[in-house]
Amino acid sequence: MSLNAERSYKMKLRDVENAFKYRRIPYPKRSVELIALLAISCTFFLFMHTNKLNSRLKEMEVKLQPSEFSALGLTGNHISGHDAGKHDDINTLHGTYNYLKSTGQLGRVTPMNLNKTRFAGADLVVFNRPTRVDSEQMVPLLRQLAAMNDINVVLNGPVRTMNRTRTEKEQLTESEWASELEGGSIYMAHSNWIDFSGFGLKKPIYISLVKDPIDRMVTDFYKRRSWVKRAINRRTYPGRREKPEEWYRESFNECVRSGSPECRFVQYSVADYIQDFKRQSLYFCGNDADCLPFNSHYAIQVAKQRVEKEYSVVGTWEERNITLTVLEKYIPRFFNHARFLHKLHSKSIRNRNRNNRKPRIDPDVRAIVRRNFTNEYEFYYFCKQRLYKQYLALQFENNLH
CATH number of the structural domain spanning residue 270:
3.40.50.300
pLDDT tens for each residue of 38-88: 666 666 555 555 554 444 433 433 333 333 333 343 433 333 334 434 445
Q: β-strand 152-154 against 311-315: which pairing, if any?
A: unpaired
Determine the pLDDT at residue 350: 56
Write down the pLDDT at residue 222: 92
pLDDT in tens, 230-278: 676 666 767 677 788 899 899 999 999 999 999 999 999 998 877 777 9
Whether 49 is catalytic is no
The answer to whether position 20 is within a domain reads no
- For residue 20, pLDDT beyond 60: no
- Cα-trace Rg, the chain: 33
Write the pLDDT tens digit of every residue in 146-172.
999 999 999 989 998 888 999 999 999
* Tally of structural domains, the chain: 1
326 part of a folded domain: yes
Answer yes or no: is 64 within a domain. no
Would residue 15 count as lying in a domain? no
What proportions of the chain, in percent to the nearest 5, are helix, strand and coil? 60, 5, 35
**Sign of CA pseudo-dihedral 159, 161, 165, 168:** negative
In a domain, 112, yes or no: yes
* 114: in domain: yes
How many angstroms separate the Cα of 229 from the Cα of each of 232, 234, 235, 237? 5, 9, 10, 12
Tell whether 225 is covered by a domain. yes
Count of CB atoms within 10 A of residue 90's CB?
16
The domain in which residue 169 lies consists of 106-396
- Report whether pLDDT(32) > 70: no
The pLDDT assigned to 214 comes to 96
Q: What is the pTM of this model?
A: 0.75
CA distances from 36 to 23, 32, 39, 46 (A): 22, 6, 5, 16
* Confidence band for 108, pLDDT divided at 50, 70 and 90: confident
| Catalytic residue (choose from 78, 87, 190, 337) | 190
Task: Tell whether 127 is covered by a domain.
Answer: yes
**Cα gap 360→253, rounded to integer Å:** 8
What is d(CA 254, CA 256) in angstroms, rounded to the nearest whole number?
Answer: 6
Residue 280 near residue 378 (C-beta atoms within 8 A): no
pLDDT of residue 56: 46
